[in-house]
Amino acid sequence: VTDPWGRTSPAAAENGAFYMTLTNSSNTDDMLLSASTDACGMVELHEMYDKGDGVMGMRPVEGGSIQVPAGGSTELKPGGLHVMCMMKQIDFEAGTEIPLTLTFENAGEMEVTAVIRDN
């Protein structure tokens, strides 16, 4: 997992999102099954999609997991796949470090720290 980060959001905003690159150096496909953090009341794996007429929507990923191909990587980025933080428990201010636990089907649990930044 490289460059885990989240975007700043106002204190009044209930939700936030985390982004990162997931790399799988094994010869077996893996799946990000879930993520958790005390900074959020609920965490889901989400994707952006085209609702038509140029309108974008957001929804939980189909099947509830994100594939990370063998010998490849999957990018979680604004406008695409992301870890959705609902019911924020803290303010997402620039420089804040938020611990996340990522759970993979094969790699198991991985602890990472997402840094909140302006962008």
What per-residue confidence (pLDDT) applies to 110?
Answer: 97
What per-residue confidence (pLDDT) applies to 79?
Answer: 93
Q: What is d(CA 8, CA 85) in angstroms, rounded to the nearest whole number?
A: 12
Low-confidence ranges of the chain (pLDDT < 50): none
Would you state the structure tokens that stand for residue 114, as one six-digit string? 């997402």
Q: Which residue has the tokens 């999609």?
A: 49
What per-residue confidence (pLDDT) applies to 90?
Answer: 92
What per-residue confidence (pLDDT) applies to 32?
Answer: 98
What CATH number does the domain containing 23 carry? 2.60.40.1890
Domain that holds residue 107: 2-117
Strands 2-7 and 108-117: parallel
The total number of structural domains in the chain stands at: 1
Per residue in 78-96, pLDDT (tens digit) is 999 999 999 999 999 999 9
Give the residue among 15, 25, 1 at the shortest CA–CA distance from 112.
1
